[in-house]
């Protein structure tokens, strides 16, 4: 077992899980959290993750962590992935651990590695200005045998290293390129639109093998999901497992948890979207823990430990073939208006048998809603629990469109 886990980032639920387990840990995060950590007796190292410099580098950070006996680094959010990779390279005396971390932080590098390894990916290219995007769209149109007068092939524009949908732009036409793209978007990744049903996986990996696999059904990306997967995706679970292990092998992942997104077509073709190795958004691990009855956040941390024994793995993870009888889902709530003054919970929700709870908070006064970057920060979630995944899907789609903030 690790001497001490260095938790890079900030997550109170993860800290609570470590406290319950009685595992040694130290939190490494921005100076803003230091006073809170002192007040709560949380072991803490103040650090700026947003720069590499002579006074801010992994060797100096390791010196600060040596005081705590830290020997395993765990990235809690996107901006700490390469820092965890750098530290674990030192702890394991393996420079490739850092190289693998860069795969997760550069989407172009990530796509090239997936393509070389034999995964099905779309067409992609690094672009440096609007004209580069237009040329990429032209080549897509040619490859798709478009004829004059047909709509352009869709292009997705993504930053190289941002989490989730931040900075993500869907471009349906040349006009969209001029209207939606800003000079500060570049350089970035342009990629073709991938058709099919989108879903994510959460694979807990130890010793290069998947020890537990969750499949998260996306009802609408950025808004709603549920766990475990519904009947259709479950019928493809063996195929998905094979592709997931292939991804683990291609990327050389040994320890931790990965969170890739996939697209499944009607012809049973699986296309790789992208992959992360930190805590996923959408409260996915919270739902996963409830559905399968384990502490998914603690398992996320502990799977980063190379010294974890087989017995300890069995204690923290569900069986590989586990299949819950109840489904847990949530819908993330965003205001529909630019100005809100009250929270309205409809009576139909309170009477719904699948309704579990919500954490929506009334605005203190009339509040202006800022434009969102990506999907932005939701105002809370409405949570559901039930035995029928089809009914779960209906509910999540319905309540996505309910105007809770008026």
DSSP 194-211: PPSEEEEEEEEEETTEEE
If one compares 337 and 308, the residue with the highest pLDDT of the two is 308
* DSSP-H helix ranges across 122-230: 130-143, 174-180
pLDDT of 211-249, one tens digit each?
A: 999 999 999 888 899 999 999 999 999 999 999 999 999
For the record, the structure tokens of 41 come out as 């007796």
pLDDT of amino acid 373: 42
CATH 3.40.50.620 is held by the domain 195-323 = no
Instruction: Please state, rounded to an integer, the average pLDDT across all residues of the chain.
Output: 91
- Tens-place pLDDT, residues 6-41: 999 999 999 999 999 999 999 999 999 999 999 999
Contact 272, 140 (CB under 8 A): no
Given a cut of 50, whether residue 375 has pLDDT beyond it is no
Closest CA relative to residue 195, chosen from 266, 291, 255: 266
Q: pTM score, two decimals?
A: 0.92
CATH of domain 5-104: 3.40.50.20
Residue 391 to residues 327, 350, 354, 395, 400: CA-CA distances in angstroms? 10, 16, 9, 6, 14
Instruction: Determine the pLDDT at residue 58.
Output: 86
pLDDT, tens only, 96-154: 999 999 999 998 999 999 999 999 999 999 999 999 899 999 999 988 888 877 888 89
Q: 397 near 224, Cβ under 8 Å?
A: yes
Is the torsion defined by CA of 209, 212, 218, 222 positive or negative? negative
Question: Could you state, in order of their start, the residue ranges of all structural domains in the chain?
Answer: 5-104, 124-192, 195-323, 329-400
């Amino acid at each position: 077992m690790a001497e001490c886990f260095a938790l890079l980032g900030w997550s109170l639920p993860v800290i609570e899980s470590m406290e319950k387990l009685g595992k040694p840990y130290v939190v490494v995060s921005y100076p803003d959290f230091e006073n809170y950590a002192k007040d709560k007796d949380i072991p803490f190292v103040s650090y700026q993750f947003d720069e590499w410099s002579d006074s801010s580098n992994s060797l100096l950070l390791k010196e600060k962590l040596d005081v705590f006996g830290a020997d395993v680094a765990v990235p809690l959010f996107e901006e700490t992935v390469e820092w965890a990779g750098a530290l674990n390279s030192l702890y394991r005396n393996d420079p490739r651990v850092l190289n693998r971390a860069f795969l997760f932080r550069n989407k172009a590098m990530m796509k090239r590695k997936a393509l070389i390894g034999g995964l099905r990916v779309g067409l992609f290219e690094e672009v440096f200005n609007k004209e580069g995007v237009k040329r990429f769209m032209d080549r897509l149109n040619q490859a798709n045998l478009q004829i004059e007068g047909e709509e352009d092939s869709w292009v997705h524009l993504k930053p190289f290293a941002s989490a989730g949908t931040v900075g993500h732009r869907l471009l349906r036409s040349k006009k969209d390129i001029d209207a939606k793209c800003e000079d500060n978007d570049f350089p970035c990744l342009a990629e073709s639109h991938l058709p099919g049903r989108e879903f994510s996986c959460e694979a807990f990996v130890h010793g290069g093998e998947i020890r537990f696999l969750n499949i998260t059904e996306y009802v609408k990306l950025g808004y709603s999901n549920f766990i475990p997967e519904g009947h259709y995706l479950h019928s493809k679970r063996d195929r998905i497992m094979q592709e997931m292990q292939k991804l683990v092998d291609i990327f050389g992942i040994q320890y931790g948890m990965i969170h890739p997104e996939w697209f499944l077509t009607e012809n049973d073709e699986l296309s790789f979207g992208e992959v992360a190795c930190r805590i996923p958004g959408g409260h996915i691990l919270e739902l996963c823990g409830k559905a399968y009855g384990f502490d998914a956040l603690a398992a996320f941390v502990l799977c980063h430990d190379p010294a974890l024994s087989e017995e300890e793995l069995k204690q923290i993870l569900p069986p590989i073939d586990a299949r819950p009888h109840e489904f847990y889902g949530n819908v993330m709530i965003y205001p529909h208006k630019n100005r809100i003054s009250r929270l309205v919970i409809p009576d139909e929700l309170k009477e719904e048998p699948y309704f579990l709870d919500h954490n929506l908070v009334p605005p203190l006064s009339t509040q202006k809603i800022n434009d969102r970057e990506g999907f932005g920060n939701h105002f809370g979630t409405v949570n559901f629990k039930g035995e029928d995944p089809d009914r779960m899907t209906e509910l999540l789609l319905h309540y996505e469109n309910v105007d809770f903030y008026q």
